[in-house]
Structure 1
Amino acid sequence: MSALDGLMARGAAVLGARYGILGGAMSWISERNLVAALSNAGAFGVIACGAMQPTRLDEEITATKALAHAPFGVNLITMHPQLMELVDVCIGHKVPVLVFAGGIPPREAILAAKAGGMKVICFAPAVALAKKLVRMDVDALVIEGSEAGGHIGPVSLNVLAQEILPVIREVPVFVAGGIGRGEAMLAYLEMGAAGVQMGTRFACAAESIAHENFKKAFFRASARDAVPTVQLDENFPVIPVRALKNEGSQRFIRHQAETLARFQSGELTKEAAQLDIEHFWAGALRRAVVEGDVQNGSLMAGQSVGMVTREQPVAEIIAEIIAQAEAALAARSGA
């Protein structure tokens, strides 16, 4: 076992993968082709369930199984109205790892998943929540900094890692947000992380079904182009979304204002209003990823987007990241 293998051994073990590299779940992108490619290349692909219905998720898992020669997981959004049915679908397929995103999952969902033989991974945006999730018997955590693409929290990974990695030792902790090179991965592994989660770096892989226009937008972008959305009313909290600036970003502000007005008039409950905002992103993301409308669609991207400069096969990207980390290790040891 190499020194790098040793550093990511806990992460690799909980995933059942060659490397402690967890694929970020990107709606419309993290589907059968990219997920299978990640797992087949030694990382761990994760299907982004998003707003899928149980029957649709069942189809996607079946299709991924046909392509993947290694284990893969499924990411479920905790606010999904059919969460327990989705968990049952995953149990039926003997999916080895379930990733819950979008908030702390109900205890019954965690219990059902573990009773069904699955390992459970959850996101922990603060030390207190990390400790709570450990008490809820999750198998691993992800701490995701504000550098990430899509829905983000307010704190950078640099700070979260310093707050959480020295404290949480009971379970493996994966770090996410802005990681695009092996040297950065190595630095967090040496701080105590068990592995990394990466999304943006794989969004434009050769196996990604993202539209050519979507990929070209990433290739042109720099870190400064990936900016978070604005919250209009502090009494109506909306989780910021990091994406490349375009007309779609402006449309979201208008949609948010319209939804806020509907909530204040009593037309929508707070929960319904927040779901309506989520549906905007699902539709806007599809326009960009699938249809190639990069002006009006959502170009969700992390700040590592500037490191995505060309289309590469997933296996080549992973090999590049591992080689960078190993070279950094070798340089420190004087090899």
Structure 2
Amino acid sequence: MSMTDTDQARQQARQKARATLERLWAPGCAFLGTPTAILGGAMSWVSERNLVSAISNAGGFGVIACGAMNPDRLAEEIAATQALTDKPFGVNLITMHPELDKLVDVCVEARVGHVVLAGGVPSGATIKQVRDGGARAIGFAPALALGKRLVKQGIEALVIEGSEAGGHVGPVSLNVLAQEILPHIHDVPVFVAGGLARGDAVLGYLEQGASGAQLGTLFAASSESIAHEAFKKAFVRASARDAITSNQIDERFPVIPVRGLNNGGTRRFMAHQAATLTRFTSGELSKEEAQLEIEHFWAGALRRAVIEGDVEQGSVMAGQSVGMVKAVRPVAEIMHDLVEQAVDALVAREARCGHLHPTETAIG
């Protein structure tokens, strides 16, 4: 075969693989209105106008992290994002926010196409409010039973996020959640999240029945992220084992697990819990006061890390995929590589399978 024929064969193989990938995530792309079914994880202080618009402009689906914003502040952020992109993007709302109804109204009035309801189980009334306003409602399902319940309540897409993710996490890995949920929910698109940083890994979940994927850590360290350079450099230096979850030392005082890079703040938090427990047992603090003391330890710590660059005492939230962040790169380059890695994996698999004799099996 001539060099030209070889090149042509390679090109055809890649075209075939790309068509396969497009078929696999077609439900996710159709739901999001994007050419690639990759969502940006909503990260407080990080997922704002610049990063969100960059992800959407690169063919993905950016998501604004509303967090503790009030309605006016959210309206301002949505307008600023719309000034930077004409592509689809969403807004992540915390269901426990005291002004949740008003925040939904802000999204509807601004014609935001998708609202992600996170940080708790959304009520049927909130889901209805989103949908009646013309937006699509997305929810998180940490278990199959809850996923089925949300779909019955009107949720139009689900995100299943494994414990490998950064920030607040549940106890179950994505690998297990995918096996539990993907074979049984087919009525709505399901997006996988947690520990993902390569397109070939995303492909594996697409083949299990996922419609797309959500990534956060990789984008937090991108060029367009407004995170402090010290924050991004901490990501580049870190290995997967550096991203640990916060621990509680007494079951009477529960601590919501948060995954972030192990640093001085992490160690001080353990000492703070021990000191607070001593003050409680001595009668200096009531149980309620002790719980508040523990919960308030991290107040402002994420902002200190992301915005001010205090990566030693601040909260450097990161998923275990941080070990695969090797450099600060533009979002468009990250998105391109994710797609190409998935295509490469499909081409390689076709080559392997094509070398098997019809009577052979992959084992024999």
Give the TM-score band, short-chain normalised: over 0.9
Corresponding residue of 1:167: 184
Unaligned 5+ segments in structure 2 are 1-17, 355-364
- Indicate how the Cα distance of structure 1 residues 114 and 30 shifts in structure 2: closer, same or farther if over 3 A, else same: same
Corresponding residue of 2:198: 181
- What one-letter code is carried by the residue in structure 2 that aligns with 1:208? S
Number of aligned residues: 331
| Percent of matched pairs sharing the same residue | 63
Distance 2:72 2:99 in 1: 11
Distance 2:187 2:319 in 1: 29
Corresponding residue of 2:141: 124
Corresponding residue of 2:54: 37
Structure 1 residue 233, shift from structure 2 partner? 3.0
Aligned equivalent of 1:52, options 69, 73, 76: 69
Distance 2:147 2:350 in 1: 34
The answer to whether the Cα contact below 8 Å between 1:34 and 1:207 also exists between their aligned partners in 2 is: yes
Structure 1 residue 259, shift from structure 2 partner? 7.5
Matched, 1:74 2:91: yes
Aligned equivalent of 1:65, options 82, 96, 101: 82
- What secondary structure sits across from 1:242 in the alignment? strand
Corresponding residue of 2:266: 249
The answer to whether the Cα contact below 8 Å between 1:125 and 1:143 also exists between their aligned partners in 2 is: yes
Aligned equivalent of 1:321, options 331, 338, 342: 338
- Indicate how the Cα distance of structure 1 residues 230 and 318 shifts in structure 2: closer, same or farther if over 3 A, else same: same
The answer to whether the Cα contact below 8 Å between 1:28 and 1:289 also exists between their aligned partners in 2 is: yes
Corresponding residue of 1:195: 212
- What one-letter code is carried by the residue in structure 2 that aligns with 1:79? M
In terms of Rg, which structure is larger? 2
Corresponding residue of 2:110: 93
**TM-score, with normalisation over the residues of structure 1?**
0.94
Structure 1 residue 15, shift from structure 2 partner? 1.0
The answer to whether the Cα contact below 8 Å between 1:263 and 1:269 also exists between their aligned partners in 2 is: no
Residues 219-258 of structure 1 mapped to structure 2, 5 A cutoff = 219-254=236-271
- What secondary structure sits across from 2:83 in the alignment? helix
- What one-letter code is carried by the residue in structure 2 that aligns with 1:265? S
Distance 2:184 2:285 in 1: 42
Structure 1 residue 266, shift from structure 2 partner? 5.9
Distance 2:188 2:290 in 1: 38
Matched, 1:24 2:36: no
Corresponding residue of 1:265: 286
Matched, 1:134 2:148: no
Corresponding residue of 1:311: 328
Corresponding residue of 2:101: 84
Corresponding residue of 2:357: none
Corresponding residue of 1:113: 130
- Indicate how the Cα distance of structure 1 residues 318 and 265 shifts in structure 2: closer, same or farther if over 3 A, else same: same
- Indicate how the Cα distance of structure 1 residues 250 and 193 shifts in structure 2: closer, same or farther if over 3 A, else same: same
My pick for the range that moved more, 235-244 or 124-133, is 235-244
Distance 2:57 2:25 in 1: 18
- What one-letter code is carried by the residue in structure 2 that aligns with 1:56? R
- What secondary structure sits across from 1:67 in the alignment? coil
Question: Any idea what the Cα deviations from partners look like across 1:289-316, whole Å, max 9, x if unmatched?
Answer: 0000111111100000011111111000
Matched, 1:3 2:24: no
- What one-letter code is carried by the residue in structure 1 that aligns with 2:219? F
- Indicate how the Cα distance of structure 1 residues 320 and 263 shifts in structure 2: closer, same or farther if over 3 A, else same: farther
The answer to whether the Cα contact below 8 Å between 1:165 and 1:193 also exists between their aligned partners in 2 is: yes
Distance 2:71 2:212 in 1: 30
- Indicate how the Cα distance of structure 1 residues 235 and 167 shifts in structure 2: closer, same or farther if over 3 A, else same: farther
Question: Any idea what the Cα deviations from partners look like across 1:131-165, whole Å, max 9, x if unmatched?
Answer: 11111110100000010000000010000000000
Structure 1 residue 280, shift from structure 2 partner? 5.0
Question: Any idea what the Cα deviations from partners look like across 1:77-112, whole Å, max 9, x if unmatched?
Answer: 111111111111111101100001111012221111
- What one-letter code is carried by the residue in structure 1 that aligns with 2:75? D
- What one-letter code is carried by the residue in structure 2 that aligns with 1:249? T
**What root-mean-square deviation, in Å, do the aligned CA atoms of Structure 1 and Structure 2 show?**
2.1
Distance 1:20 1:248 in 2: 36
- What secondary structure sits across from 1:2 in the alignment? helix
